[in-house]
Structure 1
Amino acid sequence: MNIRLNDKALALTTEEGASVAALLAAQAVAPQGVAVALNGAVLPRSRWPETPLVEGDELHLFTAIAGG
């Protein structure tokens, strides 16, 4: 399956594409301080494990940065 992650093409195995949570784990992304937008809409963290990825999905990961 092929998706786009942060504007870069990414080919996924079945396990990696099983859910948003599985993709983040496969990419070694720690969930603390991360927000996910799936196809232009913010996806609540509570839905990451149950949201499957499909061919052509676009994900953007955002991290919180402290500053002033």
Structure 2
Amino acid sequence: MQIYVNNEVLHTDCKNLQELIDLQAVGTQRIAAALNGSIIVRRDWPETQLNNDDNIEFFQAVSGG
């Protein structure tokens, strides 16, 4: 399946958002994930199915001023 992660093409066999996050080794402490423009809450990551041509964006919280 082909998806887009932070605007980069990725070919993957991941079936859900949690698998993708695990594969990408994204630190989960301070990130948010959006699927096709909608924020997905952390508790829903394992149940959020991925489909061909989905657009996933990861956002990291940064502190400071």
What's the TM-score bracket when you normalise by the shorter of the two chains? over 0.9
The 2-side partners of 1:45 and 1:22 are apart by 13
Unaligned runs of 5+ in 2: none
Structure that is richer in helix per residue: 2
SS class of match (1:49): helix
Could you tell me which runs of 5 or more consecutive residues in structure 1 were left unpaired when the two chains were aligned. none
1:49 equivalent in alignment to 2:46: yes
- How high is the TM-score relative to the length of structure 1? 0.91
RMSD: 0.7
Q: How many angstroms does 1:30 deviate by? A: 1.7
Identity %: 38
1:40 aligns with 2:37: yes
Distance in 2 between the 1:37 and 1:51 partners?
11
Please report the TM-score for the alignment, with normalisation by the length of structure 2.
Answer: 0.95
Distance 1:23 1:67 in 2: 29
- 2:56 aligned residue (56, 59, 62): 59
1:9 aligns to 2:9 (yes or no): yes
**Corresponding residue of 1:18:** 15
Aligned residue for 1:25, secondary structure, equals helix
**Would you say how many aligned residue pairs link Structure 1 and Structure 2?**
65
